[in-house]
Structure 1
Amino acid sequence: MELRTLRYFLTTADEGNITRAAHILHVTQPTLSRQLMELERELGTVLIVRGKKGVTLTDDGMLFRQRAEEIVELADRAEKTFVERENTVSGIVSIGATEAVGSRLLARIMKKFSDKYPLIQFHLYNEMADNIKERMDKGLVDVGLLLEPVDTTKYDFVRLSQKETWGVLMRKDHPLSQRESVTPQEMAKYPLILPLRENVRADIINWLGKKERELKIPLGYTLLSNAVLMVEEGMGCAFCLDGALAIHSSPNLKFIPISPEHTTRSVLLWKKNHLFTPATSLFIQEINMLKTPISRRQLEEFSSGL
């Protein structure tokens, strides 16, 4: 549940009409209706009674409206505290990012933040996860976008909702290229290109069901963008994630998911108990405001009042 969903509900409650609320929110009426139904399903209760002349709130809906108004007000006050300083804040925010579908969300967050604070610049480093963590520990990178598994003991983080699916990138003339999915065991007999990140590489070798010395691995990679060229040349098939933009770089290649499905997610993280510059502190606040749903405690408080 996100702040956006609460604003949808509150606007609908204020207008008493889904069509008018959708117009104010600049969304379609079906989109708004779907969001409201998902909210009710998540809470396990009916909030709105829909009628021909409009909508009315149930008792649970009126209680939730009070809680939602409190949460949105707190969020707006927190945002206003920082927005009031936007014309005076400058500086550089350093970000290290791996190849992941989470990069798309990061790009949207950075664009929104840049519009709000035009004097702040970003430095973006594309690295493998271990290098990013090392740069963060040295204070050379402020915020990292990494793929799980990640040891977050030393970091505060936000886990992104987008799922990343493991698969194999191969040439279209490969014997298995017409399959909808492949098993790791089927791939074990072919030359393979694997990530160099140790814990990820170990997981893949475990999926393959063989010892590393029993496999033909002509190449290890840090970033997939260069490994793609080796796949295209026929050096081997690359185990990678569907979120890597590089898998779409050649019409001669095809990404095939592995079966059974193996997935992971991205996390945005930064050092705990660290004194950041005002620019970086604002950016971290932006991340938390955009991605932090209503807390479990708030949901429990609401549920207990039903």
Structure 2
Amino acid sequence: MNRFLILQKIIELGSFTKAAEVLGYTQSSISQMLASLEDELSIKLLNRSRSGVSLTLEGQELYPLIQQAIRQYQAVQERATEIKGLKTGVIRIGTISSITVHWLPKLIKQFKIKYPNVEFVLYQGDYNSIAEWIRTNTVDFGFTTPPMATEFKTIPIKQGEMLAVLPKNYPLARKPGVPLKLEELKNDPLILLEEGNYSEPLNAFSTAGVKPNIKYRIHDDYAIMTMVEAGLGVSILAKLVLQRMPFNIVTRPLVPAIQREIAVAYQDRQRLPIASQYFIQELLTNKGQLR
């Protein structure tokens, strides 16, 4: 059936290369599987030219039957899923605190309405630890940033702004925005969120040619807000985690803006437990509602 599906995708996209990219194969393996199908049928199915790919006359006669076989196969798959259902399962997720607090409660609640007996195990850490958990199969998938997940498959979820976090009576709190190159910001103690080998604020400082005065490195966003509130320094945190904060602090946009990109990362989607596959699909369906 894989060879039929490959043929369908080649016809749909008009290209071996594009079909290989979409299906996750190399171009040579796509070519080999199609050649194997043609050998088995003793019929040449495709013409290849500079203008693209097209069915041969013989291929045009067979292709409607191949499409019918694909539809029947998909119907079998769908029915098997219905019969098997998703009565139980455990979903193990690597996550960062802002997503644990602001995205996952609603997503899990919606998911458990459909699948009440599925359990969730959340591992909260930084970009480094999440990558390691994915690598060692401690978690099924994790929320991370694409630069820290180059060895995995990733699905972009959302971009979010990062904001300057300031004590309430701090002079810069009266300004509408905080330039990264501002002398006051460079010299004041910076409380940095420790996220492993990758830091969006440090990258932004480097691009701006600024060396920040890092005094503290802390793993917890809320501990950082407490320290900023106490006047121990300033920080830069994701806008997402700064929602509904109970702290007496001020947030301001940065100039230039710093964006944080979040993606779901995993080793192989086909090897994911079915419960995790369903949850990722639920996430993608509802990602437009994530704030």
Q: TM-score, normalised by structure 2?
A: 0.62
1:98 maps to 96
Q: Give the secondary structure class of the aligned counterpart of 2:97.
A: coil
Please tell me whether the aligned partners of residues 99 and 245 of structure 1 are also in contact (alpha carbons under 8 angstroms): no
Displacement of 1:279 in angstroms is: 2.6
3-state SS of paired residue (1:176): helix
Which whole-Å CA distance do the structure 2 matches of 1:286 and 1:77 have between them? 22
Determine which of 130, 133, 141 is the counterpart of 2:131: 133
Find the aligned partners of 1:282 and 1:174 in 2 and give their Cα distance.
47
Residue equivalent to 1:248: 245
Q: Which of 116, 119, 130 is the matching residue for 2:117? A: 119
Alignment RMSD, CA only? 3.1
Q: CA deviation at 1:99?
A: 3.5
Q: CA deviation at 1:291?
A: 5.7
Distance 1:219 1:274, change over 3 A: farther
Q: Which runs of structure 2 are paired with 1:258-273 in the superposition (5 Å)? A: 258-272=254-268
SS of the aligned residue for 1:240 comes to: strand
Question: Residue deviations 1:194-215, cap 9 Å, x none?
Answer: 132332154043155234xxx4
* 1:218–1:235 CA contact under 8 A, matched in 2: no
SS at match of 1:114: helix
SS in 2 for 1:177: helix
For 1:206, give the aligned amino acid. Answer: S
Aligned-residue offset at 1:135: 1.1
Distance (Å, rounded) in 2 between the aligned partners of 1:226 and 1:90: 37
Question: Does the residue aligned with 2:113 lie in a helix, a strand or coil?
Answer: helix
Q: Shift of the alpha carbon at 1:144?
A: 0.9
Deviates more, 1:106-115 or 1:133-142: 106-115
1:174 has 2:181 as partner:
no
Deviation at 1:183, TM superposition (A): 0.6
Equivalence map 1:179-218=2 (5 Å): 179-186=175-182, 187-197=185-195, 198-200=197-199, 202-207=202-207, 209-211=209-211, 215-218=212-215
Q: Deviations over 1:242-281 (max 9, x none)?
A: 111477231x101111011121221122212663333323
Structure 1 position 289, deviation (Å): 5.2
Change (3 A) 1:232 1:83: farther
- For 1:209 and 1:177, the matched residues in 2 are separated by 23
Deviation of residue 224 (structure 1)? 0.9
1:234, distance to aligned residue in structure 2 (A): 1.4
Which of 146, 149, 155 is the matching residue for 2:147? 149
Q: Distance in 2 between matches of 1:97 and 1:134?
A: 12
TM-superposed CA distance for 1:171, in Å, is 0.8
Aligned residues, how many?
211
Q: 1:144-193, CA deviations, whole angstroms, 9 ceiling, x for partnerless residues?
A: 112343333322x32124x3112211111001111111111121021111
> Is the CA contact 1:193–1:220 (under 8 Å) kept in the aligned structure 2?
yes
Shift of 1:106: 4.1
Whether contact under 8 Å (2:127, 2:198) holds in the other structure is no
Counterpart for residue 5 of structure 1 = none
1:226 aligns with 2:212: no
Match of 1:64 in 2: none
| Preserved contact between residue 168 and residue 238 of structure 1 (Cα < 8 Å) | yes
Say whether the 8 Å CA contact 2:157–2:284 is kept in structure 1.
Answer: no
Larger radius of gyration: 2
Residues 78, 234 of structure 1: alpha-carbon distance in 2 compared, 3 angstrom cutoff: farther
Tell me the alpha carbon deviations over residues 68-121 of structure 1, each in whole angstroms, 9 at most, x when there is no partner: xxxxxxx999877645533x6312111121134696444433222211111110
Which residue identity is paired with 1:271? Q
Instruction: Give 3-state SS (helix, strand or coil) of 2:144's partner.
Output: strand
Show the counterpart of 1:7.
none
* Aligned counterparts of 2:99 and 2:210: Cα–Cα separation in 1: 29
Taking a change above 3 Å as real, the CA distance of residues 202 and 82 of structure 1, as seen in their structure-2 partners, is: same
